[in-house]
Structure 1
Amino acid sequence: MAVRSEKLSYEGPGGSFEGVVAWDPAHEGRRPGVLVGHTWMGQGEMEAERAAALAELGYVGFAVDVYGKGRRATTPEEAGRLMGELNQDRQALQGRMAAALATLRGLAVVDAKRTAAMGYCLGGKCVLDLARSGSDVNGVVSIHGVFDAPPFPNAETITAKVLVLHGWDDPLATPEQTVALAKELSASKADWQIHAYGGAMHAFTARGLNEPSKGLAYHANAARRSWQATLNFFEELFG
């Protein structure tokens, strides 16, 4: 039986949200669930495909929505406006990730005690903020994410294991900001890892992207290695 994917509406801070959940009916019983955070364009095809890929491996993938139902960007200008709203209200961002996690845990096919979150670009910030909030999610993976901390303290202890997959030449997350994130995570007593890929820029998983003057480019090795590192991390969490 093939993987099934369907839209899923849920409620959170600020209104209604709509993601895509994917699972394989051939797998029996409850299984780990993984949130997939979206880029600044909003929840779309890429995140839904990643949720389906996770489902093929025996997880339940949930491509989440932090902008709101029907709110998706079609231009960089729209994306900047939508992302800016959340950058100005990090408590809302954390609350929306918590609502998505609660929705995932409420699914009949999900083992609520075994959950993780991964995210790309803005989604990388989202999953880091989920960990920063003190969520009891088992682990989070930030993939070419942005590292700036919220303007309020983290939970005293970050209990989620943290994996950061980072392009060393990413202008949106400089070496200095990467070191600052490591210090921040250490101060919160997190179990953290940072994998830096030499020669990789921002959005290194985006096939066909080639705008190095803007610090944006696909990097095949980094894309391949980051996916394998993510799967290894989930195996460690749930194996």
Structure 2
Amino acid sequence: MTVSKNLVYFDGETELEGLVVTPENAGQGPLPLVIISHPWLGIDDFVRDLGDKIAQMGYIVFAIDIYGKGVRGKQHSDGHRLKEPFKKDPSLLLRRLQLGYDQAMATPGIDPDKVLAIGHCFGGMCVLEMAKLVGKIEAIISVHGVVKEAVNAPGPYNCKKAFILNGAVDPLVDPGDLAVLQDELSKDNVDWTVINFGRGGHGFTNPHANGSVPGIEFDTVLNARTWAFITSCLEETLG
């Protein structure tokens, strides 16, 4: 069993609403922290389900809010609108990531030396950015993340480990950008792993990706493989 609660924090006068999920035994001692950076529709059922599954493994979860309290998408096309302000002003995105990280690190009961960040799609790009902003993250997991923006942002990467799960036929990821990312991680002495799922498009872990947009489709098999890999990464990194 887990316990979930919303937590309000601020970017100036803008209200943000993160999600904290803790296991029932959270009061028994410091626990590792897993930071979730949400996909481009915001903190939705996908994020809540992921947070619950991770907390059941014995970790404290904090899902940061990039968009603002109540700013959420209901359908795929909403993501373009929600993401646009952060494409126009990358400094806004970096500030929201830093604020979310700071709020997550203030969560009672966490072990500040055992921190991992995970994100899918837009969130996958965000955790790559976060790894450059802060120095306390042991590892990041980017799942079908859009890597181009992160590749073009200034480094260095400060995480110890990076796990990149990519769809080889993802229309939103150029193989050249992925190669640049690998070079950057190597240059910054990050212990990285990249998995290219040969039949994977974009959104292969998202049950709401129904193929209505070409190249963006849920895959039951790849979703199961991804979860198995995520659990392995959590155990290897956080214990």
Q: Same fold (TM over 0.5)?
A: yes
- TM-align CA RMSD: 1.9
Alpha-carbon contact 1:9-1:17 (below 8 Å) kept: yes
Separation in structure 2 between the aligned mates of residue 229 and residue 214 of structure 1, nearest angstrom: 26
What residue is the counterpart of 1:30 in the other structure?
Answer: 30
Where does residue 154 of structure 1 map in the other structure?
Answer: 155
Residue in structure 2 matched with residue 78 of structure 1 by the alignment: 78
Pairs aligned (count): 237
CA deviation after TM superposition for structure 1 residue 78, in Å? 3.3
Deviation at 1:62, TM superposition (A): 1.6
* Runs of 4+ with deviation above 4 angstroms: none
Partner of 1:127: 127
Q: In the alignment, is residue 62 of structure 1 matched against residue 62 of structure 2?
A: yes
Q: Secondary structure at the match of 1:226?
A: helix
Map 1:1-239; keep pairs closer than 5 Å. 2-12=1-11, 15-27=14-26, 28-150=28-150, 151-155=152-156, 157-207=157-207, 209-211=209-211, 214-239=214-239
Q: CA deviation at 1:106?
A: 1.2
Contact kept, 8 Å, 2:36 with 2:63, in 1: the verdict is yes
The two structures have a TM-score, normalised by structure 2, of 0.91
Tell me the TM-score normalised to structure 1 length: 0.91
Q: CA deviation at 1:125?
A: 0.5
Aligned-pair identity in percent equals 28
Query: Contact 1:166–1:195 at 8 Å: present in 2 too?
Result: yes
* Residue identity in the other structure for 2:127: V
| 8 Å contact kept, 1:134–1:154 | no
| Segment drifting more, 192-201 vs 142-151 | 142-151
Structure 1, 222-231 or 90-99: larger mean CA deviation: 90-99
Separation (CA, whole Å) in 1 of partners of 2:176 and 2:141: 20
Give 1:42 shift.
1.1
> Deviations for 1:80-137, whole angstroms, at most 9, x for unmatched residues?
1221211232232222222222212212121122111100100000100001224321
Instruction: Say if 1:168 and 1:174, in contact at 8 Å, map to a contact too.
Output: no
Q: Is the 8 A contact 2:137 2:158 kept in 1?
A: no
